[in-house]
Amino acid sequence: MSATDNALAEQAVRGRAAGRRRTGGRSWTFYVLLALFIFYVIALYGPMICIYILSFQDVRGGLVFPMKGFSLHWFVDLFTQVRTGDVKGSFDRSFKLAIIVTILTVVISFMSGLAFRKRFRGDTIVFYLMIGSLVAPGLVLGIGIGLIWSYLGLEASWYTSALGAQLSWTLPFGILVMFAVMSRFQNAWEEAARDLGASPMQTIRLVVLPIIAPGLIAVALFGFTLSYDEFARTLQTAGSLNTLPLEIWSMTLNVTSPSLYSLGTVTTIISFVIIGVSLGAIYLIQKRRAARVAND
């Protein structure tokens, strides 16, 4: 064997050894990244921890440490609304609005993603209008929408004008994500489905959708978060009933009640329950499927 052959062989051995190392134990990079991840999660939950702790104060409680007493007073207050601010009502509206916006964003983003896959007349204009909607400052758009509504004699409300205003904000996010997702999509798979006799609808339902499903989840996540926290565009388009961010922001001009913190704690508990149940369900389904396969 020549020297180069030896060198190549050595390289191959090293490579395979590295491969073996990878499939076996963990390398140092894993621990570094794990540490980073844990740091990130702790940093993410930092403010949340303050919220959780402080939501258990008693009636004398304020918004900061040191903590005053220990009771469920503010949870009761959250549901009975003794103090200033309509936290519960505005939370209901915000939540419902966010769900509606999420569903519409997913559907419309998906459709628009499909539309943009092939060039059609005027697609560039629509694309840049969408970017424009993303970058335009919500404050002035909100006023503009309010003026239009007033001019038309319509009454602004959270489920009409605010809904539209929020969609104008979330749709660009959703569509851009769709672009990224669909760019990985191979047209070949679609063609294969058609060759096998699938109709366009079937193709979409059975081929396209399952593959881009993770992207749709991302769109849903963005849609929900963006809508739930939306402030600038909603400020002038919500009508006579505030959404949660508007209500809280207005409360900050006066003594702000720790029932906000209770709201944070309650939503966290609900989210954990939902996530736990969903993941548990998926896990059980997977297990059963694996068991069934094993039994065959």
Partner 1 sequence: MVCLSTHEAHSETGDIRMSKGKGHTGHKNGSGGGKISRRQVLKGAAAVAGVAAGSGAITGFPTIWAQEIKDIELRHVGVSYSVVKAIGDQASADLGFKVTMQNLDTSAAINRFITQPNTVDIPDLEGWQAKLATRRGVLQGIEVAKIKEFDNFLPIFTKGEFEGSVVSRQGISPYEAMYVESKDATEIHEGVTEWATNLPQVYNADSIGYRPDLVVRPVTQWKELIDPAYKGKAAILDVPAIGIMDAALCFESADLIKYGNKGNMTKEEIDFTINKLIELKRDGHFRATWTTFDQSVQLMAAGEVVIQSMWSPAVAAVRVKEIPCTYAAVNKQGDKEGYRGWCNGLGLMRHLEGKKLEAAYEYINWYYTGWQGAFVSRYGYYSPVPSTAQKFMTPAEWDFWYLGKPSPEVVNDPYGVPMEPAGTVRDGGSFIERVTNISCWNTLMDEAAYMNKRWNDFKVA
Partner 2 sequence: MALSARMKRNVTGWALILPLVLILIPFFVLPIIGVAVTSFLESDGFGGIIPNFTWDNYLTLFSSDLTFNLYWSTVKFTFFTWVFSLFFGFWVAYFLVFHVRNQLFALGLFLLCTVPFWTSNIIRMISWIPLLGKEGLINSALLAAGIIDQPLEVLLFSSLAVVIAYVHQLTIFMIVPIFNSMARIDKRLVEAAVDAGASKFDVVRLIVLPMCKSGIALGSIFVVSIVMGDFFVVKVMSGGGTASVVGAFYEDIGVLQYPSAAASAILLTVIVFLMVVAILRTVDVRKELS
Which span (32-40, 55-63, 107-115, 268-276) binds partner 1, by CB under 8 A?
55-63
Residue 42's binding partner out of partner 1, partner 2, none, with CB under 5 to 8 Å set by partner kind:
none
CA nearest neighbour of 219 among 100, 95, 106: 106
Residue in 193, 219, 235, 244 binding partner 1, rule: CB under 8 A = 235
Which span (45-53, 180-188, 247-255, 270-278) binds partner 1, by CB under 8 A?
247-255
Residue 61 C-beta: closest distance to partner 2, Å: 11
Residue in 27, 254, 271, 278 binding partner 1, rule: CB under 8 A = 254
Closest to partner 2 by CB, 184 vs 292, is 184
Per-residue b or e along 120-144, where b marks 16 or more CB atoms closer than 10 Å to that residue's CB: eeeeeeebeebeeeeeeebeebbee
Tell me the β-bridge partners of 157: 239
Residue 135's binding partner out of partner 2, partner 1, none, with CB under 5 to 8 Å set by partner kind:
partner 2
Residue in 78, 165, 226, 247 binding partner 1, rule: CB under 8 A = 247
d(CA 151, CA 162): 16
d(CA 219, CA 106): 6
Please report whether residue 192 would count as binding partner 1 according to CB under 8 A: no
Residue 85's binding partner out of partner 1, partner 2, none, with CB under 5 to 8 Å set by partner kind:
partner 1
Look at the block and give the residue holding tokens 């699938």.
Answer: 198
Residue 86's binding partner out of partner 2, partner 1, none, with CB under 5 to 8 Å set by partner kind:
partner 1
Residue 89 C-beta: closest distance to partner 1, Å: 10
Rounded alpha-carbon distances, angstroms, from residue 144 to 50, 132, 151, 193, 234: 38, 15, 10, 47, 12
d(CA 276, CA 283): 10
Residue in 63, 100, 134, 198 binding partner 1, rule: CB under 8 A = 63
Which span (25-33, 83-91, 93-101, 102-110) binds partner 1, by CB under 8 A?
83-91
Scan residues 255-274 and list those touching partner 1 (CB under 8 A). Answer: 255-256
**Rg of the chain taking only CA atoms, in angstroms:** 26
Residue 91 C-beta: closest distance to partner 1, Å: 15
| Torsion angle of the four alpha carbons 158, 159, 162, 167, in this order, in degrees rounded to the nearest 10 | 150
d(CA 202, CA 173): 27
d(CA 218, CA 224): 10
CA nearest neighbour of 73 among 209, 292, 258, 294: 258
Residue 250's binding partner out of partner 2, partner 1, none, with CB under 5 to 8 Å set by partner kind:
partner 1
Scan residues 94-123 and list those touching partner 1 (CB under 8 A). Answer: none
Residue numbers of the site for partner 1 (CB under 8 A)? 59-60, 62-64, 68, 81-86, 143, 146-147, 149-150, 153, 155-156, 235-236, 239-242, 246-247, 249-256
